[in-house]
Amino acid sequence: MEESIHSFKVEGISGEEIDFAAFEGKKILIVNVASACGYTPQYQQLQELYSAFQDKLVVIGFPSNDFGGQEPGTNEEIQAFCTSRFGVHFPMTTKVSIKGKPHPIYVWLTQKSQNKVADAEVRWNFHKFLIDEKGRWVNHFPSSVSPLDEQILDWVQS
């Protein structure tokens, strides 16, 4: 498997293709999201981060219903909720699986054998993965860490 995330393509929430090769040269923050979670207000912080740094950072939301059934909606419902409630305009994918038979990008994110850096377990919604400008896995943070946490801000600005 590639050490870079840039070899991946995923389906966007509106049916468009999201090609990670297009993000070469930018940092990437990947987060699994859900509309009915205690951490759902992080959508606003993710959007603030994206708006402030979109010249050097892309935030990509991966909706998933794997944790507590907190994302039961259709792709259209998820998109409408995120846009109307939090003004989200960072890229979002179609709903994916993270547990059981995970989406290939989550296999790469969570298995050292794939990303060549570390194993990581996604335990809940809003788990964050940091990817550098060359598409390499850098770090990950659990749901409880805000997208605007000093560690993430320092990394984005470095």
Q: Would you please indicate which residues are annotated as catalytic (active-site) residues?
A: 37
From residue 147, give the alpha-carbon distance in Å to each of 69, 74, 86.
22, 25, 14
- Nearby residues of 13 by Cβ (< 8 Å), 6 or more positions away: 63, 75, 78, 79, 92, 93, 94
Q: How many angstroms separate the CA atoms of 10 and 73, rounded?
A: 19
**Can you tell me whether residue 151 is helix, strand or coil?**
helix
